[in-house]
Every structure is written in structure tokens, then in C-alpha cells.
Structure 1
Amino acid sequence: MNQIEVKARAKINISLDVLGKRPDGYHDVRMVMQTLELYDRLNFKKIRGDKVILKTNIPYLPTDERNLVNKIVGYMKERYKIRTGVFVRLKKVIPVAAGLAGGSADAAETVKAMNRLFHLGLSLEEMMEIGGRFGADIPYCMVGGTALAEGIGEKITYLPDFPECHVVLVKPNFGVSTAHVFGRLDAGALDCHPDTEGVLEGIRNRDLAAIGRSMGNVLETVTVAEHPLLADIKKTLLVHGAIGALMSGSGPSVYGLFAEEAAAQEAARRIIEKKMAKFVRTTKIHNRKKVGCQ
């Protein structure tokens, strides 16, 4: 095997709660995550020499070691004494700095691809350990599907499949710094938390309406306060039939869950008409497969 192509899927937060700040500066979280059918493509190819070369379709995206894909390939080459060069072509579709774990998904698939490309024989647990060195979301992105993440995001409990539904994904024309949002969040002063137990019960019962009633994200208290457009997007999605609407991660992406494709398409059309965002996509949730997450 001289080359391999993989899909790196976006994720959304169905629920995101911050329980407090730890002495090490990180935050303890409790969140329900779900992968989508929206994905980046990465092609990995063995090349002569010992270099790591990354090319991407996004002109402003770093391709040196500031990019997690480049950094992880270099780390695994050194750790496993791989002397072959690696060329990576990354086609980005997931928006950057959007709260959709695009970078983490790319990183997770990089670990898995290097394992397969060079026949390293790593277990899922070993790959998660490598991924966890580079980001708290990466272990989850190794498998995807429906999961409860706790701790700083590294403690993963896989859940039953999410009910089939359509998703309208809206990323406004600006980015948000996760560090900024967590820096502005006063976790001890939060007086309202998501009904995570209600979300979990809704998932177990495959009850989309119950999930919609229980969804919540405490980071909206920072990001939506600074960017009121996000509240308008949520309202538009709900008015046009969304069962629930929420900001994903630290934002600024907002999504709505829809039982019917026609309603999702209509809501997306209204968002575009109102010029709320350039990136508006209709997609579906992606449940975990028993043989992996491709």
C-alpha cells in the first residue's frame, strides 16, 4: 500500500456543559457529541526522501508544523522510526475556526491513516493515546458517532445511535477563538445548565423531539452575547421547522435538527435569503459503523 484516502467528519455538540475550571487551567466538561456526513478528504502517499509535505485547497491554512496533520505525521515518523517521506493532500470542506472539530477530525484520521499506511499494528487505544497528545477532541474523532465526553473531553462513553434526521449547518462569516471563549466564561457563575440527562434519555428512546427540548450549550453565554447574529440564526431555524437549534462548540457555527428534508431545505433557503452566512449546508447525522467510521 503506497497511498490511502480517508474522510474526516465534522461533529456537532448536542449538549455542552462546563462544570468548572481545573487547577491546570483546563475545564471539566460534560458534552454529547455527534458526527455529520460533512467531511474533509485527506490523501496520504509515500514519497522518496524523508520529508513531510502537506498541500491544501485553503490558501491561508498553514501547511507546516502549525498544522496538526503535518505535526502528527512528523511525530509518528519519529516515534516509529519511519524513514519514508509522506505527501498529504488535504481538501477542506469543513469550515475553519467554526466549532465543528474540523482540525481535530483531520488529526484523528491522520493517526489512523499512518497506522494503515505503514502497517504499524496499533490498537484503537494506542491511536487514541497519540491523538490525545494533540487535542482533547481527537480521541472522540477517532471513532465518531454518538458519544458522551467528560473530563477535559478525553473520557468517552459511546451511546446508542442518534435518531436519523437532517441538519442545517450555518457558519457565519467570522471565526471564534476557543481560548477566548473559555477565557471569558465564568463557569462558577453559570445559573443555567443544559439538560444533558434529558438528551441522553432522548437518544436512548430515539425521541428527536425530547432531544430538541433538552439541547443546550453554556458557551452560548459568551459567544452569542458577543455576536447577536447567532441568536437570529437560531430563531430563523426554529421558526422554519427545526426541532432544536444550537451553537456547536465555542461557535460560531449554529445548526438545526429537522425530521423532514423539505423543511431543512426551506430553512437553509431562508438563511441564505437573509444573507446571514455564506456557508449554509444541509447534511445528515452520521452514526458510528461497527467496522469503523468511514
Structure 2
Amino acid sequence: MNKITAPAYAKINLSLEITGKREDGYHDIASVFQAVSLRDVITLSLGKDGIKISSDDKSLPTDEKNTCYRAAALFLRELGLSSAGVSIYIEKHIPSMAGLGGGSSDAASVLKCLNWLYGCPLSDDGLRRLGSAVGADVPFFIGGGTALCRGTGELITSLKPLKRHWVALIKPECGVSTPEAYKRFDSLEKPPSSHTPNLVEAINQGLEIASLLHNDLEDASGLREISEIKERLFKYGANGALMSGSGSCVFGLFDCYKACLSACSKLRGSYPFVRICHTI
């Protein structure tokens, strides 16, 4: 077989704390990542004509700026197959500049697909090592689920699987640049927070988590829509609401599908991206 199609699931951050800034300019974090059912779809075919990227989203780059391109190049180089070719088609459903990890998840899916097509020569740890060279969030998506991520995101500790929550995803018109969000956070000079350990303990004990959600980057988003969306999600029955990652997507957690669907229906006319999904 030389062709495979696979999902690339999005994530939300149940917590995101900035624990320090490194000499290389990157930030250390403590963050609980949670995979959700919203997904892109990756179709990958082996060939002989280099790395080719295409997508239904014509705004995506098709060269080395694309995370899937870089992931494929790293994998083929790792196996000594730099002259081999691969065609990658990306069916996009995860919005960009949203804090949902779409590009990182796509790259992880490419690594897993190539590994499968070539007979699984690399372990998951090997795939994570390659993924970390593509982007800080890529290693998480090799395994997905519920995990505590530290360092720049490459230090991953799996947590007890979260019980199913229905998730409303709401993204305003404007996106947020991750580098700009971190730059604004640095300018705020906030003291370190310490919410994540309590969240991790609650998850591992199967306790309610809605009151423990926290994101250091919310105030650095620069978007008034974030607080407005959160207020409306709570008004429509969300147990918890938070901006995901560096934004600008906001998620609301619901216990039941009907309540989540009702909230999404009320918000759909106000924002360009409104989706319902669930934790996985």
C-alpha cells in the first residue's frame, strides 16, 4: 500500500501557564492539552517527485513554510530517503490562528502516516523527537488524549482520560499571532500563576474541572471579543469557558450535547466560526 488517509485532531488547552522565558527566546509552559473531535483530514501518497502539498484551503503555503512539508522532509531524511517523494493533501476544518493546533496536528499526522507506510521504523518517541523540530505542539499530537505538557511543549506526561465533555468552539473574525501574544504577555510583567497542578490532580481523580480552567495568555490576546464570547457561553449554560492556547478561539465545556448545540445555535449568527465537538 502506498496511500493512506488519516484524521488530524484539534486540541484545546484546559490550562496554559507561562513558567519562564528561555535564552533562545522561547517560553517554558505548563499546560494541559486535550484532544477534541474537530479534525483536518490528511491524504498521503508515496511517489518519486519530491514533496508536494495541496489543500482545499488555498491560503496554506505549499513549500517549506508548511508544517506538513517540514514533517515529511524530516522523516524522509531520518530514514535516508531524501530522494523519495510524497504527495500530501490537506482537507482543512481546523481554523488557523485559533489556538487549536491545526498545523501541528497536520504535521503529526504526516509523521504517523509515513511511519505506517514505511513499516513503522520509528517508535512514538522517535516521532515526537522529529515533531519537536517542526513545532512545539507537534509531539503532543503523536499520542493525543489528555496530557500535561511542559518545557516548550515537548515534555509530555499522559493523564487519566477525561470524561467526555461536549465542546463549543467559537472563533471571532480576528486571529491571534502566537509570537505577538507571547510578546504582549511579556510586556504585562505578570507574576507566575500556579493553577495547573490543581487541574492535573482533579483530572487524575476524576473530579470536576470547569472551575480550574486558566490561560495566562487571555489578557495578552488584545481582543475584547474573548471576554464577550466567554460571557455568552456561561449565559447559555457552559460549565467552563476559556480561550484556547494563544487564541483566538474560545471553547465552552458542556455536560450534555443538547445544551452545547443550543449554545452554538445562539452564537452562530454572531461569529464566523462556530462548531460543536467533544473531547476524545
Class of the TM-score when normalised by the shorter of the 2 chains:
over 0.9
Taking the aligned partners of 1:35 and 1:181, their CA distance within structure 2 comes to: 22
Distance 1:282 1:105, change over 3 A: same
Query: What letter matches 1:244 in structure 2?
Result: G
Instruction: State the TM-score, normalizing by the size of structure 2.
Output: 0.95
Q: CA RMSD in A?
A: 1.5
Taking the aligned partners of 1:197 and 1:124, their CA distance within structure 2 comes to: 26
Taking the aligned partners of 1:32 and 1:74, their CA distance within structure 2 comes to: 29
What are the equivalent positions in structure 2 for 1:21-100 lying under 5 Å apart? 21-47=21-47, 49-82=48-81, 83-100=83-100
Runs (4+) of structure 1 moved beyond 6 Å? none
Query: What letter matches 1:265 in structure 2?
Result: L
Taking the aligned partners of 1:181 and 1:231, their CA distance within structure 2 comes to: 16
Q: Is the 8 A contact 1:167 1:258 kept in 2?
A: yes
Taking the aligned partners of 2:176 and 2:188, their CA distance within structure 1 comes to: 22
Alignment match, 2:106:
106
Runs of 5+ unmatched residues, structure 2: none
Q: Is the 8 A contact 1:18 1:187 kept in 2?
A: no
Instruction: State the TM-score, normalizing by the size of structure 1.
Output: 0.91
SS of the aligned residue for 2:268 comes to: helix
Cα displacement (A) at 1:32: 0.5
Cα displacement (A) at 1:188: 8.1
Cα displacement (A) at 1:192: 6.9
Q: Is the 8 A contact 1:32 1:147 kept in 2?
A: yes
- The 10-residue stretch of structure 1 (84-93 or 195-204) with the greater mean CA deviation from structure 2: 195-204
Taking the aligned partners of 1:85 and 1:120, their CA distance within structure 2 comes to: 18
Superimposed CA distance per residue, residues 120-154 of structure 1 (whole angstroms, 9 cap, x where no aligned partner): 51111111111111111111111010000111111
Taking the aligned partners of 1:81 and 1:204, their CA distance within structure 2 comes to: 41
Cα displacement (A) at 1:80: 1.8
Query: What letter matches 1:63 in structure 2?
Result: T
Alignment match, 1:161:
161
Count of aligned pairs between the two proteins: 279
Distance 1:78 1:20, change over 3 A: closer
Instruction: Determine what percentage of the aligned residue pairs are the same residue.
Output: 37
Cα displacement (A) at 1:84: 3.3
SS of the aligned residue for 1:199 comes to: helix
2:171 maps to 1:178: no
Distance 1:222 1:188, change over 3 A: closer
Q: Is the 8 A contact 1:33 1:146 kept in 2?
A: yes
Alignment match, 1:2:
2
Query: What letter matches 1:254 in structure 2?
Result: V
Cα displacement (A) at 1:187: 7.7
Distance 1:80 1:192, change over 3 A: closer
Taking the aligned partners of 1:266 and 1:215, their CA distance within structure 2 comes to: 22
SS of the aligned residue for 2:10 comes to: strand
SS of the aligned residue for 2:163 comes to: coil
Alignment match, 2:278:
284
SS of the aligned residue for 2:134 comes to: coil
Query: What letter matches 1:281 in structure 2?
Result: R
Cα displacement (A) at 1:191: 4.3
What are the equivalent positions in structure 2 for 1:4-23 lying under 5 Å apart? 4-23=4-23
Cα displacement (A) at 1:199: 1.3
Taking the aligned partners of 2:262 and 2:207, their CA distance within structure 1 comes to: 23
Taking the aligned partners of 1:145 and 1:201, their CA distance within structure 2 comes to: 16
Alignment match, 2:149:
149
Runs of 5+ unmatched residues, structure 1: 287-294
Alignment match, 2:242:
246
Query: What letter matches 1:87 in structure 2?
Result: S
